[in-house]
Amino acid sequence: MQRTHFLVLFIALLLSFGAAAQNPMPTTRTSHGKIQAPELDELSGIVASMNNPGSFWVHNDSGDKARFFLIDSTAQLQRTFYLEGIQAIDMEDIAWVQRNGVNYLILADIGDNLGRRQDIRLYLVKEPKLAESKTVDTIRAAAIETKVLQYPGKARDSEALFVDPLDNKLYMVSKREFQSALYTADIFGQERSSYQLREVLKFPFTFITAADMAMDRRAVLMKNLTTIFYWPIGDQEPLIKALAKPSVTLQYDPEPQGEAITFSREGEGFFTISERPFGLDSYLYHYHTKP
């Protein structure tokens, strides 16, 4: 890692400690199970499954193949899916979107530690169903929809994205600036060869590694390695207006390298999961809170 990356991480920790000092909202953490499958070693994204209640979609980040996994509520591996014909660079997050009544997953190949990529890519697939798939299966190339995105001005690193179910607009959060920024693009509008991301907001923190929006649109979560930020959203409230308000910090026990977060499908709290640096154990944690 370059020297500047250490500097950004240091600043992220300082900002996080400052936020944590502001009396975080209490939560109750429960372990649902330990990751056992050896291939789940660098988990960077998680999202609650819509088609398979009680299960979660997860994936590894840079260095892994173009694949994603389904785990159950105790963190045990259920399914592995490969993306045919896709060369993964740095998958960093996974999200859910519904289009015309059909549930889709978005695999986000958006990581760019050195800020050198000319574009980043999202891969959309219909969400598989456990009962209709094999233990190890393949999503055929014809069933994969690719969205190519570009940042304005220069390349940026990101590990967090979500879709607003109100209008199906995509939102991404940059990671390595001194202030993380929120970007948006209407990737489900007019079909284009590529989409230009647009900055719409800056945050008073940095090093964001994950984000999610509740399926009922009542709240947004973001996290870095030490802090979880929460925004309640009013009924029909514009997302940018809600996120421009000060966030609420939630009580969080840092994980070995916690880079993933998702709201529960039922809306009762949220889940986190971690990479396994140096062979440390990783658990599927549920946090219960009613902000």
Q: What is the pLDDT of residues 130-181, one digit of tens each?
A: 999 999 999 999 999 999 999 999 999 999 999 999 999 999 999 999 999 9
Would you state the pLDDT for residue 233? Answer: 97
Q: Are the C-beta atoms of residues 273 and 283 closer than 8 Å to each other?
A: yes
pLDDT tens digit string along 176-229?
999 999 999 999 988 899 999 999 999 999 999 999 999 999 999 999 999 999
Q: Is the pLDDT of residue 272 over 50?
A: yes
Reduced to 3 states (helix: H, G, I; strand: E, B; else coil), residue 160 is strand
User: For domain 3-222+230-288, which CATH number applies: 3.10.20, 2.120.10, 3.10.450, 1.20.120?
Assistant: 2.120.10
Domain boundaries, the chain: 3-222+230-288
Listed as own residue / partner, the contacts of 70-76 with beta carbons closer than 8 Å and 24 or more positions apart are 70/128, 70/130, 71/35, 71/40, 71/284, 73/32, 73/33, 73/284, 74/32, 74/33, 74/284, 75/32, 75/33, 75/34, 75/35, 75/36, 75/273, 75/283, 75/284, 76/33, 76/36, 76/37
Angstrom distance (rounded) from CA 170 to CA 175: 17
Q: What is the pLDDT of residues 68-126, one digit of tens each?
A: 999 999 999 999 999 999 999 999 999 999 999 999 999 999 999 999 999 999 999 99
Q: What is the pLDDT of residue 289?
A: 83
Neighbours of 265 (CB within 10 A): 19
Summarize the confidence of residues 243-265 as an average pLDDT. 97
Say how far apart CA 125 and CA 29 lie, in whole Å: 32
Confirm whether pTM is higher than 0.85: yes
Work out the mean pLDDT of the chain and round it to a whole number. 93
